[in-house]
Amino acid sequence: MRLLSYDAGDGARAGLLEEGRVVDAWALLGEPHRAGLRELLEHDRLDDLRARLGDTGAPSHPLSAVQLLPPITDPEKIVCIGLNYAAHAAEGRQEPPESPTLFGKFRNALTPPGGTVTLPAASAKVDYEAEIAFVIGRPAKQVSEEDALDHVAGYMLFNDLSARDLQFATPQWMAGKVFDGSAPSGPWLVTPEEAGAPDALELTLTLNGEQMQHGRADNLIFGIPFLVSHLSKLMTLVPGDIVATGTPEGVGGAREPRVWLQDGDEVVVESPTLGRLETRIAR
């Protein structure tokens, strides 16, 4: 399934994408008084939704007629993994980490598919980072790697926009990671049976039509089952939590000459299975 959050004029609602139409997911389940996608995960209703695939009668809209929102509009946590592709660590002249490098973002960073991000006035060196993110579907605490994928609701694209001058001003990276709009995500959440094996997920990033990054999740230093298990031993993961798994090589800050995002740029993160995430840049 491809799940999304959308607004058709009456606020954020959970949707199911079927043949180019967005079906109201909660109405399909017979509970139209409910609305959000995180709530759908919290109530563990994905299997019920699968059982209703193809049913008619629930309100629906053409995809082109709705405003797409970040798939999870209200996560409790946005956890990001740094230096998780060996080639990306090498291009930054850093040794691959022995344990996952963690930092966070907040809800203010979320940007919808097709959205515009205004570069922060405090930075002159904003970079792109194409990433695959997974979303937690069931609570995870002290989970083994063998059971980890049972707690994943699905996968989506993510762009960890990073203000490098702020990021490296101190040993802690977060100052460069938290500006408004710094986490474009979407366009939808693809459930595991449609996304396929997590280590086969693939993504590319183009900047104004030029390919800058390409990667596959089988090149992750710490794979998705490990990350679920590891994080669940540090904190309880809850439905709707977003975990961005890291970026492959090709970031602008490692190029010669450097490539920083500019007013008018168009950034596209794309995947054969996860869709196309477009973002416009403004100053």
143-201 residue pLDDT tens? 999 999 999 999 999 999 999 999 999 999 999 999 999 999 999 999 999 999 999 99
Which range is least confidently modeled, 87-101, 114-128, 158-172, 228-242? 87-101
On whether the CB atoms of residues 4 and 71 are closer than 8 A, the answer is: yes
Q: What letter would DSSP give residue 262?
A: -
Quote the pLDDT of residue 33: 94
E strands, 191-263, in order:
202-207, 210-216, 242-244
On whether the CB atoms of residues 183 and 109 are closer than 8 A, the answer is: yes
On whether the CB atoms of residues 277 and 112 are closer than 8 A, the answer is: no
pTM: 0.97
Can you read off the two tokens belonging to residue 150?
């049972």
Report pLDDT digits (tens) over 70-107.
999 999 999 999 999 988 888 877 888 899 999 999 99
φ, ψ of residue 212 to 5 degrees: the values are: -115, -30
Q: At 4, is the pLDDT very low, low, confident or very high (cuts 50, 70, 90)?
A: very high
Cα angle 58, 110, 247 (rounded to 5 degrees) comes to 110
* Distance of alpha carbon 162 from alpha carbon 126, whole angstroms: 5
Q: Which residues of 231-269 are buried (b: 16+ CB within 10 A; e: fewer)?
A: bbeeebbbbbbbbbbbbbbbbbbbeeeebbbeeebebbb
Can you read off the two tokens belonging to residue 243?
């975990």
Mean pLDDT in residue range 252-279: 98
H or E stretch covering 193: helix 192-195
Share of the chain above pLDDT 90, in %: 94
Mean pLDDT in residue range 123-136: 98
* Distance of alpha carbon 23 from alpha carbon 27, whole angstroms: 8
Q: At 140, is the pLDDT very low, low, confident or very high (cuts 50, 70, 90)?
A: very high
Taking all residues of the chain, what is their mean pLDDT, rounded to a whole number? Answer: 96
Q: At 54, is the pLDDT very low, low, confident or very high (cuts 50, 70, 90)?
A: confident
Quote the pLDDT of residue 89: 80
